[in-house]
Structure 1
């Protein structure tokens, strides 16, 4: 049988076109038997009875955060102590915003290195795998805003497997903090379990902390007994290291506090929070090798006054706990409105109602019908709705009573409700109550799907209606599992806002309050970043609103000349122009630029009506160039030392045929694939994994600052040569590059290789390899 054939969150894991291996079809399992073994070394077994499930003897997570861009490596080492072959699983939760960028397996002494390839027919591969008996299960752990990576293999008795997964993410600033969340759920207590986060910033680090561990499913439940007892070492003003290393007893204690089975080990989230000192004006621009990233979060600005329109779903599906939690949240949110704000309260089901807070009986419903025979929807322009209310104690109390009186009924007519909200904004522009210009914001909450018209029509009509009136930002809250989140995301993005899922749980009210805090203080409107004509490859440069506590990030290419941008925007003082500080850095700005670009292209792909294919193609090109696993690319792992070519982009487009070729290769194709020598195939594999190697490689020679050395792609060197510094900052052994796949996740650039270079037999280029 051929090995590994599994799709998880857009990740395809396929065998190479090669001879059959010993690895059987994959199935994900959850280990439940705890370990008391000291480590996984030979000759140190301390089990009175061999465990019946594979044991994780080491799990390490390293994360390096450079200027808000985090690169995390998860290492898991497992051994099968049973006297029969067993299935070994590696499963980890990744932040939803993370891109996988590397994966290496070591199974029974063989290395399997993954490549990022184009994603085509991924769902069909998964269905075919299931239909052919390739099972795909799950580990009983879940967390919000996360994706799961899972892979399984069979290993023989007493053999080991090691997994090295690398993912990268940009930390988004919310509520004046950057936050990195690291999921830990090995499925059993682990003797050697540790997390280390190294932070390096261009500006002074502030408010660094490791709050109580989280379950990943609720907020606002911080317990002192879940204190991670992390070791926080301040290296200097701009650098720090945070370490979390619970022993076996502490892991079991934490599992008990979380209410999970002790034999399943720690199941939680380790969190790092921090901020940096701000440039009070135009932010800072970091430049390296022609690429730059502009961070903009000005201080010392007064919040803009706003008109906020709450549009709340009261259809039948909101009955019970959902409505009660909505009422609790709105009561708290109303207290957070600012004195110069105006607000409207709208609820909707089959019709929309604009509340008259002075007399509920005088609230206005839309559509209105003057007689039972009238069926046409009246023009919004001819309806007089209640005015927006200024924020004061009396009006807030009236609004709170109105919210408490909300009742559920009817269907979910969304389009009319949204048009009413936009009309309320326009009314205040035409009939201002004072001379203050306010930032219009619409908060639209629903738990269902529209019943009045299809989603594409609603998006088109509302976007057009909004552009004709005073442009309002629409923020959509997707309440529960039944709502169409893709529709709400597209609607919000097209109207200068964003959508956020609200999970129905004990903390629903807190989730709604947390969302409101993110948009409570608009500081600037109509923000435009302007760069010289020579600056190219820019990400988004126009932003309708900048909120306090957040950050705007723009990236681009400036070549050899430093950029000199300006930021034009509107504040409480009127139109202003700001200038940033420009700094050269050693961080990898190009990779961060690629990450931001891909995210924006994917967003455009999902929301564009015309150019979706163009945006997808551009996102795919960048994903393949920088080895990011995204919704348009996939991860392919191949068997090493093969004599056939790897599965390339064109082949993955025809995965239906690929499966057939795996089991019955065509003769002509086989002869063609065998034309390559083993050495050429090994070199292809290595340069696929480490693309920067091509820049310093000529034939089998690598050019380094220390001199020119042989790569030794076809060599086997058994000499034991100790070296002082592996990529994990530990002592190790010098090995040829192709013999140390566990270092690959750390060697993202040639500079990383230079830092850990060592020499073998005075002529071969080696790398200081972790033991």
Structure 2
């Protein structure tokens, strides 16, 4: 019976996949690294259009409302479409080439506790792939004595390879860690038999020590189908907490930025008369505070206002409600607001709370809002908290004055150190509780803390994508503070000031915020490109001429010869440059773009490499994707590195060294090394394009079975010989009349490649951006007979294709 159930299950999955008309998601990976509460999340989604016709593909992902998107890139049909974050114009006009991906019309600028939807639609050419890369960042808030990280797993279909990973790195000991059952909307999680789940989702693996933990969730298709056949698995939720010291928390210090953490009768008015409810509640609490009964108590006073709708009774204009609320509260107590459901003016609730030292929370409509929120703010421990540092030691600090501190929460302050050589930093926290005023002080060791951070990141193999996390956290908090200040501003000048400052911060850290927009170029259907417009392929293994039209230059180590050739490539084609997939696991592919040829040229157009991918499948899969603007490195963790900055990165499999705007050196397992040159034009001519050059610097780790346009020559024995001129001419003019018997032509050089003879001429080629010149034997006619097989044998379907070489052959 169990075997029959298994067969039926597999049949159901096959039917679901076969009936799918939209592009199939082959792989979805969501990897998060949390370092001292700050979370970096990288999403990678690969779709395949199985059909011959172009099809619309939809990438949709839910992200926390409190998070900011920091990057989005599409790779469609081998072409890379990066995004740009720009300041939002005052009057936006929708155009076909623009897409502000993160949107939810009911979500206010700073609302938290809900998800927003990032959505991108793109046309995928027939039998081709699209890859979507999304990164976002957020600061986890401590509530009810724990941190919560939520990953949405809703790909809307079953996925061949699905993986969710969460790495948590903390300075303090991790005292509590729990992976909850999948959380799916308004219904409780179940295991498919109608019974509620009580443990982590199936396939979840947890590794943990005192200061870091690694959690993975990798359900196969059968396990996904058991949870939800439509691919809407739900939310993968991780709760954790850390050990807390008595007194002030110890700060994180990195890149001259610092972070400090301080682990730190109820009436509900309902209805839609928001103004009337606030006035009644304020009067009631105000009378109590002025009474003799309360005059001797140093307590914290709050109003919690809950609503499930917009103002419809009494005063309904938002400015009037905000003004009346401020006049009623009179800074005597704090106002906290709760919104339930979708028919709520969250912007109004947020501004009401922000202007009266409270916060706004969005609660699911079916939840017990009073219990949830009261548990969070029902135990105020301190009031009037002020965080101060040594005089002139810190600048640009984020919010350091807090009206209340609640049990189970945390206060975060970040700023920039002014004295980079100082060994310590003095921190003082003043506050009041129900009995007295208190002062907490601590001296922090700066350099020791920074070294400890680096050590723990290395232990957790967190990767350099989190380097500079304190500065990015500072930028994140500063943007949040700026948006709150903008919301509270009383004059247009003050509002404009906040707007400009916060916009600049958003652009500096590439954050998609309410003040910025994300511009993504929409790709055209690549399958419609005209055939026949071919030109010399851009360079690989050799270098580029100074005019930016590179050619292939290959050193043949066994024969101590240098050969060169041109390949008439098609824009949009992806060429296999190196493949040793079965042995070393290495594959290198390059994508071509086109440009018009210079005036007077015999060519119709030029082609260049604008994207190169290096895939290393051993000991585990990792890859590097390179464009003239950026380098994407994925080895367990994903990093996006600009080509304009010098940086060195070492991961488990890969070593990467970028020399700003010059070149990239990639080392694989210490024995294989490739060099990729960046070619940029400040004022490009119409026939010039930013492009890449590719070189094999060290092939020691590549096997004798290595192939590809360049790889096939690494272990090839090529001989140089002389051919009789008449024999050579006869071969090249086999369709013409034979030469006269009395004509004798001089001999010409030729290369012996396996059983093939290739006539060549001697040429000079400039390589390494024109810095070196080499003499080489040039093979004409699209490298016919020099390379194995034909040009079409080297064209692959996508940039991450690692399929085997087709073993094409030539006759002599």
Give the shorter-chain TM-score range: 0.5 to 0.7
- Does residue 1:192 correspond to 2:161, yes or no? yes
Structure 1: distance between partners of 2:695 and 2:352: 51
Structure 1: distance between partners of 2:267 and 2:200: 37
- Does residue 1:297 correspond to 2:263, yes or no? yes
Give, in angstroms, the shift of residue 722 of structure 1.
7.1
Give, in angstroms, the shift of residue 156 of structure 1.
2.2
Structure 1: distance between partners of 2:113 and 2:89: 27
Give, in angstroms, the shift of residue 241 of structure 1.
0.3
After superposition, what is the alpha-carbon deviation per residue over 1:279-334, rounded to whole angstroms, capped at 9, x for unaligned? 22111211112101111114xxxxxxxxx45141246xxxxxxxxxxxxxxxxxxx
Structure 2: distance between partners of 1:111 and 1:128: 15
Contact 2:205/2:216 (8 A) holds in 1 = yes
Partner of 1:246: 219
Contact 2:82/2:521 (8 A) holds in 1 = yes
Aligned residue among 539, 547, 553 for 2:406: 547
Partner of 2:389: 531
Partner of 2:518: 635
SS in 2 for 1:747: strand
- Does residue 1:455 correspond to 2:339, yes or no? no
Aligned residue among 480, 483, 486 for 1:605: 486
Aligned residue among 284, 289, 296 for 1:429: 289
Structure 1: distance between partners of 2:507 and 2:380: 37
Aligned residue among 497, 510, 527 for 1:614: 497
After superposition, what is the alpha-carbon deviation per residue over 1:584-630, rounded to whole angstroms, capped at 9, x for unaligned? 33452101100111011112112222211111111110111111111
Contact 1:36/1:191 (8 A) holds in 2 = no
Give, in angstroms, the shift of residue 71 of structure 1.
0.8
Partner of 2:740: none
Gaps of 5+ in 1: 1-32, 38-45, 131-135, 256-261, 299-307, 316-411, 642-676, 680-712
Partner of 1:445: 306
CA 236–424 in structure 1, closer or farther in 2 if over 3 Å, else same: same
Partner of 2:79: 110
CA 628–589 in structure 1, closer or farther in 2 if over 3 Å, else same: same
After superposition, what is the alpha-carbon deviation per residue over 1:183-218, rounded to whole angstroms, capped at 9, x for unaligned? 111111112111111111111112111111011346
Q: When you count strand as a share of all residues, which structure comes out higher?
A: 2
Partner of 2:527: none
Contact 2:66/2:113 (8 A) holds in 1 = no
Contact 1:173/1:550 (8 A) holds in 2 = yes
Structure 1: distance between partners of 2:476 and 2:98: 31
Aligned ranges for residues 134-149 of structure 1 at < 5 Å? 145-149=114-118
CA 548–122 in structure 1, closer or farther in 2 if over 3 Å, else same: farther
SS in 1 for 2:267: strand
Structure 1: distance between partners of 2:612 and 2:343: 61
Contact 1:282/1:581 (8 A) holds in 2 = no
Structure 1: distance between partners of 2:490 and 2:695: 49
Aligned residue among 398, 409, 429 for 1:567: 429
Q: Compute the TM-score of the two structures, normalised by the length of structure 1.
A: 0.63
Q: When you count helix as a share of all residues, which structure comes out higher?
A: 1
Give, in angstroms, the shift of residue 741 of structure 1.
5.4
Structure 2: distance between partners of 1:616 and 1:54: 41
SS in 1 for 2:34: strand
Give, in angstroms, the shift of residue 105 of structure 1.
1.1
Partner of 1:377: none
Contact 1:34/1:188 (8 A) holds in 2 = no
After superposition, what is the alpha-carbon deviation per residue over 1:5-51, rounded to whole angstroms, capped at 9, x for unaligned? xxxxxxxxxxxxxxxxxxxxxxxxxxxx99749xxxxxxxx98x785
CA 541–719 in structure 1, closer or farther in 2 if over 3 Å, else same: closer
Gaps of 5+ in 2: 1-10, 106-111, 455-466, 525-546, 550-592, 594-606, 657-665, 678-693, 697-798, 803-812
Structure 2: distance between partners of 1:609 and 1:94: 32
Structure 2: distance between partners of 1:81 and 1:721: 24
Contact 1:531/1:564 (8 A) holds in 2 = yes
Contact 2:183/2:234 (8 A) holds in 1 = yes
Contact 1:474/1:498 (8 A) holds in 2 = yes
After superposition, the CA RMSD in angstroms is: 3.8
Structure 1: distance between partners of 2:128 and 2:378: 56
Contact 2:380/2:406 (8 A) holds in 1 = yes
CA 243–568 in structure 1, closer or farther in 2 if over 3 Å, else same: same
Structure 2: distance between partners of 1:181 and 1:733: 27
Structure 2: distance between partners of 1:767 and 1:623: 38
Contact 1:183/1:269 (8 A) holds in 2 = yes
Contact 2:63/2:118 (8 A) holds in 1 = yes
Structure 2: distance between partners of 1:213 and 1:678: 53
After superposition, what is the alpha-carbon deviation per residue over 1:708-734, rounded to whole angstroms, capped at 9, x for unaligned? xxxxx9985999977689xxx944466
SS in 2 for 1:295: strand
CA 145–564 in structure 1, closer or farther in 2 if over 3 Å, else same: same
Aligned residue among 460, 464, 474 for 2:327: 464
CA 539–545 in structure 1, closer or farther in 2 if over 3 Å, else same: same
- Does residue 1:312 correspond to 2:269, yes or no? yes
After superposition, what is the alpha-carbon deviation per residue over 1:472-505, rounded to whole angstroms, capped at 9, x for unaligned? 111112244333221121111111111223443x
After superposition, what is the alpha-carbon deviation per residue over 1:666-721, rounded to whole angstroms, capped at 9, x for unaligned? xxxxxxxxxxx989xxxxxxxxxxxxxxxxxxxxxxxxxxxxxxxxx998599997
Give, in angstroms, the shift of residue 457 of structure 1.
2.2
SS in 2 for 1:613: helix
SS in 2 for 1:310: coil
- Does residue 1:595 correspond to 2:595, yes or no? no
Quick one: higher RCO (CA 8 Å, sep 6+), 1 or 2? Answer: 1
| Bigger Rg over Cα | 2
Give, in angstroms, the shift of residue 100 of structure 1.
0.7
